[in-house]
Amino acid sequence: MPVSLVTQTEIALIWDFDKTLTTGYMQKPLFERFNVDESQFWDEVNALEEFYEKFGLKVSSDTAYLEHTLNYVRSRKFPDLTNSILRELGAQVELAPGMPEFMQRTKDFISANQRYVDNIISVEHYVVSTGFRQMIEGNPINEYLDGVWACELLPDTPTAFDGKRWEGGSFDPDGVLTQIGYTIDNTTKTRAIFEINKGINKLEGINVNARMAADERRVPFKNMIYIADGPSDVPVFSVVGQNGGKTLAVYGDKNYDGVQQLQDEGRVNNTAPADYSPGSAADRWLFRWIGKIADSICDDRDQRIGNFTNPAGHVTK
């Protein structure tokens, strides 16, 4: 029987970003830098879907803001916007109380328990967001993350193509942003969850669409905890929850009712304020489940080891 290349001893905390790890939307520093009216921008974005439908055209309500951001670049409302500016602005995004220290405390929690250490258990943190990847990776929280799935804007296409591949040419990787390179919406977030499940960011040669046995997947769903702030995350809450993982919906001042409705409908395991300070409700619930998952991993490994018994010896009188 082939030996699995994965230990399945990783516990993955998978986070939404805006209003989950932060106090508001990440784009706030962008609007402030260019003196753009934040409310007007989002009003315009929210009206795009209806506008295009009049012409028989479709636009994703989750990612329409990306093209509208580029419209603002072209119209000089966001003049000369680059990814380095997005990373700079990402550092200004205000994190939720207790962050990023909470993430370090989860790792310290594991390392302080010798049984967990002996069973090579680890905690990993991922962000899956419809926001800008460059801003997330520019934030201090990025130091604690094992992977980021989010949207990417690109500068102009490279100018040198040799018939088979693009060469550098005059391409400026930090040029003014002109096009959409990669998108995540609230439905395709589930693809990112399967990518974490299969370990495509950690293991070479893994394709998210490839067949893979449950015991070959790097992070089983039962080792996952998904934390997000509301109804738009129902697809991921469903995938994680239905496959044995745990789900936490967090809320701020304005989305309490919507989050509580998710629990009323059985779509999440628990709800709590988006505060991860020591002793907070989210802190206590998350640490409880990190411990329970870690104990379960240890128990499973102990049982597998116990199933290997010594062969019977000679019978003597």
Give the Cα separation of 279 and 141 in Å (integer): 20
pLDDT at residue 160, rounded to an integer: 78
pLDDT at residue 308, rounded to an integer: 53
pLDDT at residue 103, rounded to an integer: 98
Band the pLDDT of 1: cuts 50, 70, 90.
very low
Structure tokens, 73: 């670049």
Query: Residues of 8-31 as b/e, b for ≥16 C-beta within 10 angstroms?
Result: bbbbbbbbbbbbbbbbebbbbbbb
pLDDT at residue 311, rounded to an integer: 54
Of 272, 19, 279, nearest in space to 127 by CA: 19
pLDDT at residue 312, rounded to an integer: 53
Statement: residue 2 has pLDDT above 50: no
Rg of the chain, C-alpha, whole Å? 23
Region 158-186 average pLDDT: 87
Give the Cα separation of 262 and 256 in Å (integer): 10
Computed over every residue of the chain, the mean pLDDT equals 92
Which of the 8 DSSP states describes residue 36?
-
Give the Cα separation of 89 and 27 in Å (integer): 8
Measuring CA to CA, how many Å separate 103 from each of 125, 249, 285? 7, 18, 14
Region 235-249 average pLDDT: 97
Of 130, 140, 133, nearest in space to 91 by CA: 140
Position with higher pLDDT, 255 vs 219: 219
Number of other CB atoms surrounding residue 73 within 10 Å? 19
pLDDT in tens, 103-116: 999 999 999 999 99
Percent over 90 (pLDDT), the chain: 78
Q: Choose the most confident range, by mean pLDDT, from 1-10, 60-69, 108-117, 152-161.
A: 108-117
The answer to whether residues 132 and 161 touch, using CB atoms and an 8 Å cutoff, is: no
Statement: residue 49 has pLDDT above 90: yes
pLDDT in tens, 82-99: 999 999 999 999 999 999
Task: State if pTM tops 0.85.
Answer: yes
Statement: residue 314 has pLDDT above 60: no
SS3 content of the chain, % helix, strand, coil (to 5): 40, 15, 40
pLDDT at residue 162, rounded to an integer: 77
pLDDT at residue 261, rounded to an integer: 93
What are the structural domains of the chain? Answer: 10-306 (3.40.50.1000)
Q: Phi and psi dihedrals of 151, rounded to 5?
A: -80, 150
Of 273, 248, 232, 221, nearest in space to 97 by CA: 273
Of 242, 235, 273, nearest in space to 128 by CA: 235
Give the Cα separation of 138 and 173 in Å (integer): 16
The answer to whether residues 77 and 69 touch, using CB atoms and an 8 Å cutoff, is: no
Measuring CA to CA, how many Å separate 105 from each of 142, 173, 225, 287? 15, 36, 16, 9
Which of the 8 DSSP states describes residue 288?
H
DSSP string of 109-151?
HHHT-HHHHHTT-EEEEEEEEEEEHHHHHHSGGGGG-SEEEEE
Statement: residue 317 has pLDDT above 60: no
- Residues 6 or more apart whose Cβ sits within 8 Å of residue 289: 225, 246
Number of other CB atoms surrounding residue 275 within 10 Å? 17
